[in-house]
Amino acid sequence: MTAKMEEDLAYLKDIAESGREAPSLSGRFALLWFGLLTVTLLIHWALARNFIPGIGIQYVGLFWIGMVVIGNIASRLIGRGMRDLPGQAAPNNRVENVTWTISGIGLAIFALTLMAVVFLRDNMSAIMFDLIMPTAFLVYAVNYAAVAAFIKKQNKWVPVWISLLASAGTLALIGIPELYLVSAVAVAALWVTSGLRQLLEEPKSTV
């Protein structure tokens, strides 16, 4: 067992004996991805409504690609800076890490498959892309519910319900540009009710 593992286990033991819970380590990632996603969704809505002169909706894909590239690079940098933070072996943090990683990969595959279907099949409309956000919110609900099962905090189910309502709401808005405006508002609400709390509770120093 390495010294880092021993320190982390000692930290978790202290947390358990005091009756507390290991704080989430996802706050920085939530700030990064939800921030990027909110901005990209607002740009998508603005382009769909022709609110940005000289740039048509046909360029929206570039903004989404840029979001993914920037997000992945920044995530790697954030991850390197968090290697020594305590609590990484805590059940809630392990569940968060696995669920959000796998769901991110899954949503990327889903989006790329939709893209291939739309461009390769003449009978498919670009409206298919509107399925991405309803699906994403449904996945978010599952992720938040999985973590909620490990924590005792008040209002832990709020992000779950926001995600479920956003999934239903955006599904009802398919084909309407306001789908992306509503999505941006919902993502911002998830940040306030979940990501912000995680960021504020994050350990400020190593063990």
- How distant, in Å, are the alpha carbons of 42, 131, 179, 183, 193 from that of 168? 19, 11, 11, 11, 19
What is the average pLDDT across 83-111?
88
CA distance 143 to 140: 5
What is the model's pLDDT at position 154? 77
| Lowest mean per-residue pLDDT among 44-48, 86-90, 141-145 | 86-90
What is the model's pLDDT at position 67? 97
Q: In terms of Cα–Cα distance, which of 139, 100, 134 is closest to 114? A: 134
| Lowest mean per-residue pLDDT among 8-17, 82-91, 149-158 | 8-17
CA distance 38 to 52: 17
What is the average pLDDT across 74-81?
92
Cα 56 to chain centroid distance, Å, stands at 27
Q: Is the pLDDT of residue 101 over 80?
A: yes
Tens of pLDDT, residue by residue over 2-57, are: 655 555 555 555 544 444 567 788 889 999 999 999 999 999 999 999 999 989 99
Residue 85: helix, strand or coil by DSSP?
A: coil
Q: Is the pLDDT of residue 151 over 90?
A: no
Q: For residue 198, count other CB atoms closer than 10 A to its CB.
A: 20
CA distance 112 to 132: 10
What is the model's pLDDT at position 10? 53
Q: Is the pLDDT of residue 207 over 50?
A: no
